[in-house]
A and B are shown apart, each in its own frame.
Chain A
Amino acid sequence: MRLTRRFWLTAGVALCLVLGGWLLDSTPLFVAAAGLLGWILAMQAVFVRSVTRIERALSVDQSLDRSRVTTGTETTFRLAAAIDGASPHFPVTIRANVPVAAERASATEPLVTLARTQAESSITVPLTWETVGDHTVDEATVSVRDAAGLFVQSFDAGSTPSVTVEAPSLGPVHVGQSGERLLRGVGEHESRGSQGGLSAEEIRKYVPGDAMKYVDWKATARLNEPHVREYEAESNRQTVLVVDHRTTMGDGPAGRTKLDHLRAVASAIRQRADADRDPIGYLTVGDSGVTGTMSPAARPEAYESCHHHLTDLSPTDSEAGTQSPATTRGGGPVTVTGGDPTLTEMDRVLLSYQDRQRTLLPDEQLYNGFRSARHEIRNADLVVICSDDTDPGELRETVGLARRNATEVVVFLTPSVAFEDDLLAATDDAYERYRRFDQFRRELCEMDAVTAYEVAPPDRIESLLSRSASDSRRGEVA
């Protein structure tokens, strides 16, 4: 119980009366002082009785609408208080003890006041969680004060909801072909490089993602099921990651963009290369051209550099890249005419054939970047291209160029349709677009030593495919 200034004022007045009575030898002043002290005690007794009753009758409920969120996510915090019975009570203030990690989106205080005859009240406050960790909203602080303003008593009450705040995570990633998930781990490989030798082999069942050229037809015929022959060898495969991080790679919800998905795939390949001690290099391309490059190397610092560079990648701004310079393989910088609106499609095609050794294509930073890359990058054993389907023509040319130089090309593509916000609203059109994407991916796969995979959120792919299935059923019924 805290004593207020008004209490000390009253007690001080009583003391003054005692002193006055003693100095003046006045009995009435003593009597008045005693009466005042008796009055204070009576008010205190009444207050104690009332607070005890309130503590028993009061129920405080604190709740959060979510128990697991990512940083920056807004949650709704609700504070509700109710007192059983309709009898009057001293005014009660209930204040929630919101953790410091939570930031209130509005100026609303997490505070509820029950007036003298009020039985219940509640308030809803939006909270944004900025710090990763487990956070608990402690019991609310209940404050009761008496009507005369002499005493205040506070105690804790209420539930203690907790929330787990996590850093934004990507969640599961679908990597596969035509909706079929790739069952092999991303980045796993047999010794198909130009170096290394075979040491053992085995036959296993075919799984989606295995190249057709590794199918063991004899075993398949004998076992009546597709089987592939695996080669185990000392691997020394040079791998180069070509990662596109132009504006369109930022499509998708925050933390689950195209780039986030492709980054996860590229990171998995980097980890695999690190584990196998395969030399790794990278080439990253933004709207203004090449943003980073490293020739394949098997040194620990090379893996670290690749990891940090991939982690730091973010979609670039298209406004800054329309007039970007690029460099030819053998000469100085060449200014491409990407911003020239007079160029027709035919002009662009012709330009690509004109002096192919020197000329770069306008507005095709991925192609230009790979074309102007160092020899070790272009001629790696494995070139992994991570991009989307925004410009199929450019990607086709880039893959073709990579195939002419590298031993093997693997393309990871994000279908734009799977990263649109209104996917559910426009599913009919969405499936058609996904079908076109898959057709394009198949075209890439038909190129020799080229394998193309789709990379997307699994739920989006399932949604697209389920729509296709329902459309098929409707067609059968009709």
Chain B
Amino acid sequence: MSRTAGRWPPSPRTALGALGIGVAAIAIVWSGPLWGVLGAFALGSLYVVGTAPLAVAFGQVALVAAGPSSPGIVAAVEVGLFLALLAAALSAPAPRTAAATVAVTVPLFGGLTWLALSSWQVGPMAVALVLGCGFATAAYLLHRYLLVSVGIVSRDQLQSSPTNE
């Protein structure tokens, strides 16, 4: 990590992200249990103090813990958390492209995982392996593509030494 310019900037927070977290928090409170208020407060705090992914993860855990019976509440929480992730992408230089990428990738990964577990009856371990390996492979390919794009690794080097960075 480069420390040349001092500390990292705070995680980007936008009105859309705050709206998403707000919707998710209200839905958790609405789901019934008394501690839902505390959960909603923690969700908001994590978003403000921490990062959007941390808040999303906590919101997801809170949703599972609350166990709402109404699909509407589940949908509200999921949409709110999704908006928080989407809002983080809007801080990129090309916000439309970034938002579109997130809007495609997140539901795609989430949807495929849900389908694999619920409809295709794939075991959790297999799903976890596929998720981990798929993520690592895709991330590494993007990494290598960037190295070649900026000229750090030439195509000749790439062919002669595939592991060379």
Contacts and interface: CB of A to CB of B under 8 A. Distances in A.
Interface of A: 1-6, 9-10, 13-18, 20-22, 24-52, 55, 87-91, 93, 95, 111, 113, 116, 143, 145-149, 152-155
Contacts of A45: 101, 142
Given A22-B124, A42-B89, A93-B5, A153 B64 contact: no
Contacts of A37: 109, 131, 135
B1 interface: yes
Nearest to A26: B64
B128 A147 contact: no
B145 interface: yes
A40 B52 CA distance: 12
28 contacts: A4-B1, A5-B1, A10-B53, A22-B128, A24-B64, A25-B124, A27-B118, A28-B64, A29-B60, A31-B113, A34-B112, A37-B109, A42-B102, A44-B139, A45-B142, A46-B97, A46-B98, A48-B142, A48-B149, A51-B150, A55-B149, A88-B93, A93-B4, A113-B5, A147-B9, A148-B12, A148-B91, A155-B152
B61 interface: yes
A143 B51 CA distance: 23
B105 A149 contact: no
B125 interface: yes
Interface string B131-148: 110010011001101110
A147 B12 contact: yes
The A interface is mostly helix, strand or loop, or mixed, namely: helix
A196 B138 CA distance: 93
B151 A42 contact: no
B145 A36 contact: no
Nearest to B131: A34
Leading 9 A-B pairs by shortest Cβ distance: A38-B109, A32-B60, A34-B113, A34-B109, A38-B105, A42-B105, A147-B91, A35-B110, A149-B8
Contacts of B104: 42
Contacts of B98: 42-43, 46
Contacts of A52: 146, 149-150
Interface of B: 1-2, 4-5, 8-9, 11-12, 51, 53-54, 56-57, 60-61, 63-64, 81-82, 85, 88-89, 91-94, 97-98, 101-102, 104-110, 112-114, 117-118, 124-125, 127-128, 131-132, 135, 138-139, 142-143, 145-147, 149-152
A40 B139 contact: yes
Contacts of A46: 89, 92, 94, 97-98, 101
Nearest to A143: B2
A6 B8 contact: yes
B150 A39 contact: no
Nearest to B1: A4
A20 to B, nearest CB: 7
A10 B51 contact: yes
A145 B142 contact: no
A35 B109 contact: yes
Contacts of B135: 37, 40-41
Given A27-B113, A43-B89, A149-B8, 4 more contacts: A18-B131, A29-B61, A35-B110, A50-B94
Nearest to B95: A88
Contacts of A145: 2, 8
Interface hub of A17, A22, A30 (most chain B Cβ within 10 A):
A30
A147 B91 CA distance: 6
A35 B2 contact: no
A153 B146 contact: yes
A200 B131 CA distance: 102
A6 B51 contact: yes
A155 B82 CA distance: 34
B143 A1 contact: yes
